[in-house]
């Protein structure tokens, strides 16, 4: 085992800190671009009105018939401030998604490396505080991001960053579900994730399949194909058990 990996496994607090960082990034994204909701938290974190719109509500309306050729300092200043705010939010948005992607990739690599690493990652996920059920906050965070709707800050390049993050999160969930050898364990973990809302999230993504990148579609297909394979195998095992009982 590599020395660096051994240090991580000897100090799982490092992984706990990574999990905290992941939740912090996911939370920042849900604040910057909240999903439409009637909940109090969503309304509190909605983007504040622009300086221009505030000014239009507080300042009287003046006729511009005799001053069409004159520059408007207040509008120019508001426009600059609006552009700066948009650029800053866009940069924060992109960096937060990239950080989430990196952490998901680290967790996935550890899951696939060895049984000990897998058990350690699963233990870290099980230790997340404030959850009624395991995986609850991770799956809910995906729903809360509003990533199924085009953001006002998103261009084509930023959408690729978003889709990379989703693909890395699904790769992580696939590693969690598909790594165990016993089919009963895989089925149990898959059921646990689906009860938290993962399959619903995937079905909503499926509607946009024609615009999704190949790496994301590959992870979606891997999830559903492995689920189908396991379900067919479980059905065969159950039929075999039934026949054995009838023959007694």
Average pLDDT over residues 237-244: 83
The pLDDT, as a whole number, for residue 51 is 28
Output the DSSP codes for 12-50.
THHHHHHHHHHHHHHHHHHHHSPPP--SHHHHHTSPPPP
Q: Is 50 a residue whose pLDDT tops 70?
A: no
Give the residue extent of every domain in the chain.
3-38+87-247
Whether this prediction's pTM lies above 0.75 is answered by no
Terminal Cα distance for the chain, rounded? 50
pLDDT tens-place string over residues 165-183: 999 999 999 999 999 999 9
Token pair, residue 145, equals 């991001």
Q: What's the CA gap between 170 and 180, in Å, rounded?
A: 17
């Amino acid at each position: 085992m590599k020395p660096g990996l051994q240090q991580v496994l000897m100090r799982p607090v490092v992984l706990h800190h990574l999990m905290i960082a992941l939740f912090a990034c996911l939370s920042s994204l849900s604040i910057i671009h909240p999903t439409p909701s009637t909940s109090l938290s969503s309304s509190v974190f909605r983007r504040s009105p622009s300086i221009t719109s505030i000014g239009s509500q507080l300042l009287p309306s003046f006729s511009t018939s005799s001053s069409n050729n004159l520059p408007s300092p207040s509008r120019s200043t508001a426009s600059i401030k609006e552009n700066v705010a948009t650029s800053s939010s866009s940069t924060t948005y992109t960096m937060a998604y990239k950080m989430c992607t990196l952490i998901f990739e680290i967790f996935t690599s550890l899951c696939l490396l060895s049984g000990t690493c897998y058990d350690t990652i699963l233990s870290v996920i099980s230790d997340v505080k404030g959850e009624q059920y395991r995986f609850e906050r991770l799956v809910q965070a995906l729903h809360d991001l509003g990533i199924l709707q085009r953001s006002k800050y998103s261009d084509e390049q930023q959408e690729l960053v978003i889709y990379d993050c989703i693909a890395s999160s699904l790769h992580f969930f696939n590693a969690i579900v598909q790594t165990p050898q016993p089919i009963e364990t895989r089925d149990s973990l898959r059921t646990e994730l689906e009860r938290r809302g993962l399959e619903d999230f995937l079905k909503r993504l499926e509607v946009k399949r024609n615009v999704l990148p190949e790496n994301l579609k590959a992870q979606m297909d891997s999830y559903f194909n492995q689920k189908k394979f396991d379900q067919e195998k479980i059905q065969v095992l159950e039929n075999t058990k039934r026949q054995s009982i009838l023959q007694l």
